[in-house]
Amino acid sequence: MKLESLRITECPYAFAAFAEKHNALVDLLAGMTGQNGISVVIAEKNAIIRGGGASSSSLANVVGSDGRLQNAYVGSAIANAWPSAGKWVTASGNVEIDATGFRITTSGGKVCNIAFASLTQNISLRTEAYCNGNTQANMMIAASSAF
């Protein structure tokens, strides 16, 4: 891995400690290797931790599009191909997606399943007015526009 251009070779004395720590981090990144089906790809602009060949029950950390680590389950991984399924795990619940649709499971065990085949209209969160007895109220719902 070629990360030499990231190293600090000259700096004012006041920043020497920072430069030393920065260069140690560059060395650490250059030496990263994966294990147990996880590969690490380092380039000068990206660090990608990729699950390759991990079973669907194996948790891996991946770098998301925002640059933060995310927990994901990777199944049926094929090198140089788009993933066929994914699972994101948080303290409040899980989101799973595959070719058939997606499933949201809360930490309390409540589940929302949406099959892609059942989506015949665009769906978004909407606020709709309704009567609650004699009181007008609003309800936020996932719904399509009227058709």
Separation between Cα atoms, residue 34 and residue 65, nearest integer Å: 20
**Does residue 119 form part of some domain?**
yes
pLDDT value of position 117? 92
Separation between Cα atoms, residue 102 and residue 97, nearest integer Å: 4
Upper half-sphere CA count for residue 117 (Cβ side, 13 Å): 2
Q: Both tokens of residue 45?
A: 């602009």
pLDDT value of position 116? 92
pLDDT value of position 57? 54
**Does residue 105 form part of some domain?**
yes
**Does residue 87 form part of some domain?**
yes
**Does residue 12 form part of some domain?**
no
Domain around 68: 32-143
What is the rounded average pLDDT for all residues in the chain?
Answer: 77
**Are 113 and 103 spatial neighbours (Cβ–Cβ below 8 Å)?**
yes
pLDDT value of position 27? 81
Flag the least confident range among 6-15, 34-43, 83-92, 120-129: 34-43
pLDDT value of position 115? 92
pLDDT value of position 141? 92
What is the domain count for the chain? 1
pLDDT value of position 136? 92
pTM here?
0.42
Write the DSSP symbol of residue 45.
S
**Does residue 4 form part of some domain?**
no
Separation between Cα atoms, residue 10 and residue 113, nearest integer Å: 56
**What is the pLDDT averaged over residues 121-137?**
90
Which residues have a Cβ under 8 Å from the Cβ of 107 and sit 6 or more positions away?
Answer: 91, 92, 93
- pLDDT digits over 40-96, tens only? 666 555 555 555 544 445 666 666 656 666 666 655 555 566 667 777 878 888 888
- pLDDT digits over 16-28, tens only? 999 999 888 888 7
Q: Both tokens of residue 126?
A: 């909407």
- Which residue blocks in the chain are alpha helix, DSSP H? 16-30
**Does residue 19 form part of some domain?**
no
